[in-house]
Amino acid sequence: MTKFILILSILAIIKIETLEEGENMLNDTIAAISTAIGEGGIGIVRMSGDDSLNILSKIFKSPKDKDIKKIKSYTMHYGFIIDPETNETIDEVIVSYMKAPNTYTREDIVEINCHGGVVAVRRVLATVLNNGARLAEPGEFTKRAFLNGRIDLSQAEAVIDLIRAKTDDSMSIAVNQLKGKLSEKIESLMDRLLGALAHIEATVDFPEDDVDELVINKLNNNLKSLVEEIDYLIKNAETGKILREGLRTTIVGKPNVGKSSLLNALLQEKRAIVTDIPGTTRDVIEEYINIEGIPIILVDTAGIRKTVDVVEKIGVEKSKEYLENADLIIFMVDASRPLEGEDFEIIDLIKHKNVIVVANKVDLPQKIDFNLLKENFSIIVKASVKAEHGIDAIKEKIVDLVYQGKVTTKNDVLVTNIRHKDTLIKAKEIIQKGIETLNSGLPLDLASIELKDGYLKLGEITGDTVAEDIIDRIFCDFCIGK
Ligand SMILES: Nc1nc2c(c(=O)[nH]1)N(C=O)[C@@H](CNc1ccc(C(=O)N[C@@H](CCC(=O)O)C(=O)O)cc1)CN2
Ligand SMILES: Nc1nc2c(ncn2[C@@H]2O[C@H](COP(=O)(O)OP(=O)(O)OP(=O)(O)O)[C@@H](O)[C@H]2O)c(=O)[nH]1
Ligand SMILES: [Mg+2]
């Protein structure tokens, strides 16, 4: 039992260390513009920290001469921001005050609602900074919410996913994560690991007993089902990543097959120029579309062919670059013509990738040899973009590829973040090693070393057991004012 207690105390120390390191920087009051700059009718300057209300009292004047230091939490007040040095009125505003600890950061928060536009908001921010606040780093408000224990790390990461969500589905996954659904799942896995550890320690404390076969079996079963659950999360993470980041989908093909026509059809607008002249598209066109909740970054490229035209040549090189980074390639061919050299060149470039072949122009007499396509690709859709035929079939194939036959409901816990996925993969490997050790005939407590490591690894997802540099890297990706 003593070792079990030792493990718990190690965990406690790790936790205290992360909190203490954070505390040094938590004393000052930070400020930033929290709304898009120069857009919209109102802009918000937000402060967080002990000094927020005091700073406000230096720069705010209410027409009714209210004592701003005595206002109640969660109330709003009308007045003016005045530069105390020059007595100049900067803006007419409404301010709100939220008293710690029931706030976004768990610190005192003051928000100044100014007139939108670039100048007003920037000058109000400058006044706040001149009177005692420090400019917040990107994500620092949310980082404080994390360091002060209101949310854990995976919840904090969900905040940025929420802001960047491109479809309703990616939004609802982020909201679930913000509400702590992923954390609950990870914590329950960690609890079960701790249970297994306790079990091992209890057994090791009675060395005179033979290690019971039953005990090992039970541990094995528990740990294997734990690994299966981790595996399930890892398997679905590919879908999760696409829902979070979007599916990079590149349309390629030789000139004039109808690539830009397909982009326009999927976008339902005349975005790209379409002509019957081969080599019409010269630059890369990138647009967002939403197919049944899946965010798609759709890329139309210059038709790939050998050309002496300098501009087109650069376009063709770019097309090839985009092929490299695509999650999915839509390879378009002209069904009214036999496959030719340029098609085969492209086939060579893409045959080992994720490809949907679209055989376009089936409204015309067909001359293409489908067997040649089938030799290299398994998904082939016949379409006539001009006759608006086959577009839905293309969308269906995309959805199938993303979900790969798996039905994930909105309430399923879905891992969307690569950091989480990588951490789960590592945790799984460590726990599997633990299972091996457990069954190797070596002393049981050797396995507990690995299981403890697995526990610490899982804790990196919620931030329970995570190094400062990882935390810094996460928050520096945030936008300013969040
Ligand atoms: N004006 C404004 N709107 C905003 C935000 C903000 O900071 N300011 N938010 C910023 O992202 C979001 C709201 N997020 C928030 C999250 C927690 C708390 C908060 O005070 N939580 C308290 C509970 C308060 C209560 O129940 O009365 C707590 O957890 O103790 C506030 C806002 C979106 N809208
Ligand atoms: N008959 C027929 N013509 C089509 C179809 N789809 C596109 N076209 C025509 O084919 C020509 C080329 O279309 P684009 O969409 O510009 O082709 P592209 O592949 O983008 O061509 P580049 O940009 O030059 O590489 C245009 O005249 C289109 O109207 C189709 O399904 N059937
Ligand atoms: Mg084109």
Give CA separation, 226 vs 133, 348, 458, in Å: 48, 42, 12
Lookup result for tokens 């690709």: 377
What is the predicted pLDDT for the residue at 211? Answer: 63
Q: How confident is the model at residue 24 (pLDDT cuts 50, 70, 90)?
A: very low
What is the predicted pLDDT for the residue at 22? Answer: 42
Centre of ligand 2 to C-alpha 296, Å, is 22
Tell whether the model's pLDDT for residue 454 goes beyond 90.
yes
Facing residues of 328 across strands? 249
Tell whether the model's pLDDT for residue 47 goes beyond 70.
yes
Q: How confident is the model at residue 27 (pLDDT cuts 50, 70, 90)?
A: confident
Delineate the domains of the chain, giving CATH numbers in brackets. 2-151 (3.30.1360.120), 246-403 (3.40.50.300)
What is the predicted pLDDT for the residue at 16? Answer: 43
Q: What is the identity of the amino acid at 152?
A: D
Atom 6 of ligand 1: nearest residue by CA position: 104
Q: How confident is the model at residue 38 (pLDDT cuts 50, 70, 90)?
A: confident
Facing residues of 250 across strands? 299, 329
Query: What is the C-alpha separation between 252 and 300, in angstroms, rounded?
Result: 7
Summarised one tens digit per residue, pLDDT across range 198-253 is 988 887 766 555 667 778 888 999 999 999 999 999 999 989 999 999 999 999 99
CA nearest to 153, candidates 480, 479, 473 = 473
Q: Give the mean model confidence (pLDDT) for residues 403-407.
A: 68
Share of the chain above pLDDT 70, in %: 92
Q: What is the identity of the amino acid at 133?
A: A
Q: Is 384 in the pocket of ligand 2 (CB under 6 A)?
A: yes
Query: What is the C-alpha separation between 463 and 458, in angstroms, rounded?
Result: 9
Atom 8 of ligand 2: nearest residue by CA position: 258
Query: What is the C-alpha separation between 118 and 45, in angstroms, rounded?
Result: 12
Q: How confident is the model at residue 8 (pLDDT cuts 50, 70, 90)?
A: low
What is the predicted pLDDT for the residue at 361? Answer: 98
Give the three-state DSSP class for 356: strand
Pair type for strands 30-33 and 42-48: antiparallel
190 burial via Cβ count (<10 Å: 0-12, 13-18, 19+): buried
pTM for the structure as a whole: 0.83
Summarised one tens digit per residue, pLDDT across range 246-305 is 999 999 999 999 999 999 999 999 999 999 999 999 899 999 999 998 999 999 999 988
- Nearest ligand 2 atom to the CA of 255 is 25
